[in-house]
């Protein structure tokens, strides 16, 4: 999930909102749709949260564009982007003043360029928006990164900078070993998460 700007933000995903988004997209305008979701939950009820997350994962995992569901303080918001990005921060247009403490689940549509369903943009957003957890899914894997409030970036560093440093180290290791690392970006993200104290997990969806 890469953070990009959109030309048009459509508030509401009902028939009128979806039609507006469709016509804007046909006009080659970069468009995002955000909407309130009628589901509610008790923030202290983990079972209820898990059931919602499973429902949303099953709903979006096969979608050709990126979707994100944002669970925040008992309310749920939905954002629709395009095949490479969903700017879920735009749900703040619907009322929330901050996404601090939110749980976000989003999909990564199939792509010939994708090497893993976890990107450094995802983790960068975790820090930038002060999320509790960001969860991603594709047809093969499910991953989640959680900030237990003990994670800390080195002074003067962003997560992207930490990731790039780890990636450069892995490139050098691969060159020295003479072996191609096909999971270079993902391995660098895992090392960067460990470096800053983030909890990362990954599991197969099969």
Average pLDDT, the chain: 83
Q: In angstroms, rounded to a whole number, what is the distance separating the alpha carbons of residues 162 and 10?
A: 35
Mapping DSSP to helix (H, G, I), strand (E, B) and coil, where does residue 65 land? Answer: coil
Q: In angstroms, rounded to a whole number, what is the distance separating the alpha carbons of residues 192 and 160?
A: 9
**Does residue 13 carry a pLDDT above 50?**
no
- Span 15-31, pLDDT tens digits: 444 444 443 443 344 45
- Write down the domain spans for the chain: 8-148
- Span 69-105, pLDDT tens digits: 999 999 999 998 887 788 898 889 899 999 999 999 9
* pTM (global) more than 0.85: no
Are the C-beta atoms of residues 32 and 90 closer than 8 Å to each other? Answer: yes
**Does residue 56 carry a pLDDT above 90?**
yes
């Amino acid at each position: 999930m890469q953070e990009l700007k959109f030309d048009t933000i459509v508030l509401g995903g009902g028939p009128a909102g979806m039609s507006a988004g469709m016509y804007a997209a046909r006009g080659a305008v970069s468009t995002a749709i955000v909407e309130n979701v009628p589901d509610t939950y008790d923030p202290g009820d983990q079972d209820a949260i898990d059931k919602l997350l499973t429902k949303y994962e099953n709903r979006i995992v096969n979608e050709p564009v990126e979707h994100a569901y944002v669970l925040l303080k008992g309310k749920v918001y939905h954002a629709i982007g395009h095949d490479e990005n969903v700017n879920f921060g735009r749900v703040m247009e619907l009322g929330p003043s901050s996404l601090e403490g939110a749980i976000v689940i989003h999909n990564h549509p199939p792509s010939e360029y994708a090497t893993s369903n976890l990107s450094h943009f995802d983790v960068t957003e975790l820090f930038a928006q002060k999320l509790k957890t960001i969860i991603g899914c594709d047809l093969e894997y499910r991953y989640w990164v959680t900030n237990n409030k003990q994670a800390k970036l080195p002074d003067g560093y962003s997560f992207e900078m930490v990731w790039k440093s780890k990636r450069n180290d892995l490139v050098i290791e691969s060159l020295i070993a003479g072996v191609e690392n096909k999971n270079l970006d993902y391995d660098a993200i895992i090392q960067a998460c460990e470096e800053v104290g983030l909890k990362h997990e990954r599991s197969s969806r099969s």
